[in-house]
A and B are shown apart, each in its own frame.
Chain A
């Protein structure tokens, strides 16, 4: 796919008031496809969020905790040896990592979990539920619930509980109840459905901390706004580091929260290329992948219209990825919108590509990225040869890989 960075997009379409519009839509995507029971709660949540952002005491409290509890701002780190690795005789791009892996709990997920927990407290909700795939969002939610003394139930597919046993134990250690989900494929999709069913049942006492930029409006906006701190910091740090905007942003995309958090403050800066990397699993030519944007079609899942992996009859298909966090047949509606506009580009890399990248980054930079994050790194193989000297790339190093060492060892044939 050729670079589309020079094609000017209508500014109105990229303006914040179009993402989402007053109906909770991003172009044709988004909306609220949920049981009526939840509609008043979604309206309440949207109102609470709008009021909270206007309230200095809320914003101050959030910022204070992001700093003292989460450890923000995270550094923008110049990956010199990775840069060197991709340097050609005629030069090459410079690679920077936005170190979200250094956040408390080891991934970007806590930005949103913390923000939503503060919102839940504001709304007087005492019980929190969440879904989790890799367990990072579950751990982040369990963490903030412990911090605020909130009851916490995390829905997790049984298959993912096996793959991410360490995170299951972490959540339990933090006092959360981890509820196994055995329906369907027993992965993130089914855990999300089950969390929504819990919310339908307990909506009056419970807040649902959805972990991605997916779900019914206002979640895609709400989750993005809590993660936008990633992009806002990166923008400032780029100016400090090299005096201008970056040229390329790269992030992995499952539901798309870390990517949206990085992209958001740059969406209207059309000189900045934005690249999302999906999980191609065993290959997009096979039926075992999770490349929703590159391979999916328009549909409705978990309350939003977006691109979706589905069969000829509109039944949602199983997704497959070595990374539990990307193993999702849907994607956030704003990504589908940015794709349609041509504002962001989306590609996919296989399990094997991600495994190779994980080892490369570990050995060159002394940073073990999460398997999810490794997908973003893997795209450098394709991208770097096309970029000229002086190009500044920012990769969202969205999570650390400690949780994945067992999976990686198994896949490369090492018995621990």
Chain B
């Protein structure tokens, strides 16, 4: 259940940002959590309210973008969709690749009032 650490880390960052601008409450938060990031969105949603209670994120609207996994083959340069982190190149079947997207784990934006 590392989603707990993820959520608590988000809350800490958010609290700090709010403190920096002299207080307030977060109306909206935009997260980017890639499909290959290793975070289960369902688990994250499950614990979100519990963790956010009595923090600047209580009752905030949460928007999560989930970029699909994609990679570029290190052998033949083919770009392909990565459903699983161990998918091989569909053209030359090489397992060597560079992941282009899907590993994102970011707080994109906060809207504070």
On whether the two chains bind one another, the answer is: no
Interface residues of B (CB under 8 A from A): none
